[in-house]
Chains A and B, each alone.
Chain A
Amino acid sequence: MKILVFCCDWCSYPGADLAGILRLEYPPEVRIIKVMCSGRVDPMLVLDALRQGIDGVMVTGCHPGECHYVHGNMEAERRIELLRSIFERSGINPRRVRIEWISASEGEKFAEVTRAFKQEIDEIGPINQGEIDAAEIIHDVFSSERARLVLGASRRAIELEGVDPLWYKGVLERTVREEVLRERILRELRKSGALSAHELAERIGEPAKEIFWNLIAMKRRQIILDIGIVDDSLKFAIQEGV
């Protein structure tokens, strides 16, 4: 089993050090990567770890209100929350990612949360191929412009423009889910050449209607094209050069 913990330079990394200074034991499965701020942790990095077979990823940062960069930890929390909600519908156990606040004086807490996380991963078992494949897809989604734009603009929308946070969260989740579906459509098309909405629905396991609308949207963005009616159904294929 492998557990990755992102630690911020100001709070949780010294917190982890303190666990050592106090000679507290925590699971040897834990590996630590230091970043300056938990807000540095791009969702792509979390997904990169999962797609490489790491069983659990924990992002740790300063307590709310104590971030050295004021709101980096809140950005990290927003991203992890989003990942968890996307995972729920994509076949990845959402408990594989979590966020924890650990101050520089909380060596004890560092040991506790890593122990608890290890136990949780023990319960849900090692990451399976299905989850790794799903992580691969979501990784690609989070490296594409649309998902990143909507996620990145969260703070501007909610804090500066006064958009209702719950509503925005809904938009964010819908956008990413849509992108996940489109990514899966693309993968199927890449595998099988031209396919109809019904054929895709069968392979992906989502309603044909939803797939069709996404195909139209993708066509409009010139990612795919329809190659006309073949065997009584409209077929789509990937646009050359995409």
Chain B
Amino acid sequence: MIGVFLCGCDGEVSERIELKWLGEVAERDPDVGYLETDEHLCSKEAVRKIRSIVESKNLDRIVIAGCSPRTHEKIFDDLAPIVEFANIREQAAWVHPEKEEATRVAADILQSAIVRAKLAAELEAVRVPIEPSCLVIGGGVSGMQAASDLSAQGYRVYLVERDERLGGRVKRLSMTFPTISCGFPCRHDCPECELTPKEEELYASEFVEILTSTEVMEVEGRIGNYHVTLRTPEGVREIKVGTVVIATGTKTYDPSRIPEYGYEFEDVITSIELEDLYMKHRFLGGGGELRRPSDDAIPKRVDFIQCVGSRGEKGGNPYCSIVCCLYGIGHARAIKEMHPACEVYLHFTNIQAPYRGFEEYYKESESLGVNFVRGEVKLVEKGEEGLVITYEDVDLQKSFEEATDLVVLSVGQEPSDGAKELAELFYRELDPDGFFTEVNQKIVREDATGVFVAGCALGPRNIRYAVADGKIAAENALALLKKGEFEMEGIMPIVDDTKCIGCNICGNLCYFGAIGVTEEIAEVVEGKCRGCGICAAACPEKAITLTQFDDEEITAQIEVFARAGEVSG
């Protein structure tokens, strides 16, 4: 017996739709055995009431008519074995201002939900076991954090890094801003630094296996059971893991793509090369000073150019790279501290300093003598001595052509090489910029892949947020690992083996490898299917039925709509 619950949504629906009439339409259906109208179905009291009615009236199917299932599906979906939704708020009350029309549309929507409820079969959840291990791809701060959190809970972690060493880009930084915790004059490899202890901790852990100079070649399997083929310096190796964290980070923008910035000149360097310069002099014993590459002279003037390859400046990437403003300012200050006589200019269009303490840090820099110049840098050329920079100052509405000793390009971040291939291996989507798409960006849904993405692979991040991401990914993976099994939604194709002719059209269409002919007829791989139903729509023999959204349900809905006029008059 079907129970129908109509929600007035505090007037949002009840003032725009004649719920009484809707109730009559529902009651005309002989299978509907219970009807209830409430103004606030999603309240605790109403939910409790539905639960008790379902029990006392022995309802095995209910229809909730009100807001879109995308809003409150989770509140209702365990109240009865079968729960269907009639979206009469977003798709009727709110789009048809005429009450009569809205009511007619709502009646059709309600009836189509009722027929779905009649035909729906109870979905049998598919349970797949989760292998108690995790593969972390990328040994930057994000991946290191994830590996550390996972191993702390006693799960086996394979930490794969393409480079020879862990640490990612952070390893190349001589200091971080604005919290100069491991900064000047703390030296890169000194044990007080944050990175090295973390690295040592990971190497010491009996649960973590660190595989450097290693790349992922092939991936097979599904949530809870991935077979991954790795290319290690010792040769090809296969591992079996239950979950995966992708933390492949970013690479920096190649400034030679913007010829006017003169990157070909020796004294035009990127911010990362500036870090290398500091490091070089630290190791040579001249720590605490900056010498330019061409002649090892201490520069008398340094110009920073911001947004190189970011925010659409000069044909660069359209997005903001997040970190460059702060590290540009940080370096400018550091240079000023090392060499107070050195003039430091920072050319910018907008300073993006939205995090806690960043704005203050920026403001303070102005008083420390860093010259902030708003405006475009037109050209960097070689002069008779050193470089010549042509720039405009928007505030003064003037252009300048001045000699300088060193130009630092604050390069932005771009997706790492190989992100696309990796995304394909794990069936992940990339956004138009080439970063991994964040799951649940628009829709809150449970992950059904066991693959989590962290850090800059999702888009530019600063260190703190990359580390936080690593923690979040580890948490998500841990939640799965601790459960030991995963329950899937259960929308699945079922192959009728008396009808299947083994043409493998389904296999060629399924991107996820969830269905296909291995021997004679098509077989479904549990745990891989995502329920799209493309296979069922294409099967030449109609041998594939779906546990939800089956032809029977859809044609019944079509029928409701086709004969709608006859019913409502």
Contact = CB atoms under 8 A, between A and B. Distances in A.
B534 A25 contact: no
Contacts of B280: none
A233 B504 CA distance: 44
A188 B565 CA distance: 33
B534 A14 contact: no
Interface in A34-89: 34-37, 39-42, 44-45, 48-49, 52-54, 66, 68-72, 75, 79
A28 B102 contact: yes
B53 to A, nearest CB: 26
Contacts of A66: 429
A49 B558 contact: yes
Could you say which of B93, B95, B101, B564 has the most chain A C-beta atoms within 10 Å of its C-beta?
A: B95
Nearest to A51: B562
Could you say which of B98, B104, B512, B537 has the most chain A C-beta atoms within 10 Å of its C-beta?
A: B537
B361 interface: no
B394 interface: no
A38 to B, nearest CB: 9
25 contacts: A2-B561, A2-B564, A23-B94, A32-B87, A36-B533, A39-B534, A40-B533, A40-B536, A44-B551, A45-B555, A49-B558, A49-B561, A52-B558, A69-B534, A70-B427, A72-B534, A104-B443, A145-B540, A148-B540, A148-B542, A152-B503, A152-B505, A152-B538, A152-B539, A153-B505
A155 B533 CA distance: 16
B483 interface: no
Interface residues of B, number: 55
B537 A17 contact: no
B288 interface: no
Interface string B533-557: 1101111111000000101001101
B171 interface: no
B561 A4 contact: yes
A54 B561 contact: yes
B370 to A, nearest CB: 40
A186 interface: no
A171 interface: no
B271 to A, nearest CB: 33
Nearest to B430: A65
B509 interface: yes
A24 B93 CA distance: 11
A75 B538 contact: yes
Nearest to B538: A152
B81 interface: no
Given A17-B87, A25-B95, A40-B534, A54 B509 contact: no
A10 B443 contact: yes
Given A33-B554, A45-B551, A28 B104 contact: yes
A19 interface: yes
A152 B555 contact: no
A97 interface: no
